[in-house]
Amino acid sequence: MKNIIEKIKKRKRINKDEALKLYDLELLELGELADAIRKEKFGKKSYFNINRHINPTNVCKDTCKFCAYSATRKNPNPYTFSIDEIVDTAKKAYKNGAKEVHIVSAHNPNVGLNWYFDAFKYIKKECPGIHVKALTAAEIHFLATEYNKSYEEIIDLMVLNGVDSMPGGGAEIFAEEVRDKICKGKVSSAQWLEIHKLWHKQGKKSNATMLFGHIESRADRIDHMERLRTLQDETGGFNTFIPLVYQRKNNYLKVEKFLTAKEILKTYAIARIFLDNIPHIKAYWATSTINLALLAQEFGCDDLDGTIQKESIQSAAGAASANGLELNDFIALIKNSGFIPVERDSLYNELKVY
């Protein structure tokens, strides 16, 4: 272990086996290693943005066992917004100061291809300057398959209709055996990585996620991170890595032992150490709780996501994120935790330091 710690302190890249061994360190010792890297990069700054999550439909062709949002599983209330409703939601958020709309849907086979792209186009028209983050790799795979398009053709339509960056959803966990159990039939690990690679080739940025705390092993988490690190070496297109804490309510996964805060913080810290080429590590407060996300800023994380305003996917599974957070409360929470709140845009340009 001493050799691994020495490598980390010298900022030498560690391998998969070494990263896995870091789970054996005491929490505070591991946290100090990650925090030192975070401070080198960002000091005491904690980033957030003023954003609005829009989830336009919960009607889904896929049946992921961990999902509580899809109307085809345990959610008995199917809905689909019209294009006008999507655009009006974005306009209201824009008037309230949102710099980004984060649009993620279920895989609805009933709405047609134009439902997606017309919404993006009209949002850009009605909200000049707003950043549209939309279409996960899982959605792109679904659209390509459903409408007999290539990934490249869907990506071209995204660029043409004003999508600025891709969210990281749909990655779940890359380990194929686990993926086969929790989201069989969805975009594969290789396809997810291929889609992001194609997006990066367009000169665009994306995020990367990992859903953890269900039936995966620690080794599966490290394997997931390594695959991301390898693609990042090639493209440099990932802005941030977002470890998403599995939400336990209203789904079909039989998870008997849930994550402790200690295990979550260790995973954040290891991510900061291992992912030496991805700039930011986000503690997405919608899945970890705001209190743990703030504590995670001491364990390698430097980003909290944003005000959100409204969120439907995680909250359907029990997260306390349905109505977002008020901006002043968000800033006060960061300050009271000993960090400097920095409002950023979607590409991590600093807009305002509080």
pLDDT in tens, 114-147: 999 999 999 999 999 999 999 999 999 999 999 9
Tell me which DSSP letter residue 282 carries.
B
pLDDT in tens, 301-338: 999 988 765 544 443 444 343 456 888 888 999 999 99
Phi and psi torsions of 32, nearest 5°:
-65, -40
200: helix, coil or strand?
Answer: helix
Separation between Cα atoms, residue 87 and residue 78, nearest integer Å? 20
pLDDT in tens, 250-281: 556 676 778 899 999 999 999 999 999 999 99
- Per-residue pLDDT, 353: 96
Tell me which DSSP letter residue 13 carries.
P
Separation between Cα atoms, residue 9 and residue 218, nearest integer Å? 23
C-alpha dihedral, 319 to 273 to 187 to 67, nearest 10°: -10
Separation between Cα atoms, residue 132 and residue 77, nearest integer Å? 27
Burial class (CB within 10 angstroms; exposed 0-12, middle 13-18, buried 19+) of 288: buried
- Per-residue pLDDT, 76: 67
Separation between Cα atoms, residue 324 and residue 306, nearest integer Å? 8
Separation between Cα atoms, residue 169 and residue 265, nearest integer Å? 21
Give the residue among 209, 203, 217, 171 at the shortest CA–CA distance from 190.
171
Q: What is the mean pLDDT of residues 16-35?
A: 98
Q: Which domains does the chain have, with CATH numbers?
A: 2-342 (3.20.20.70)
Separation between Cα atoms, residue 157 and residue 76, nearest integer Å? 33
- Per-residue pLDDT, 318: 41
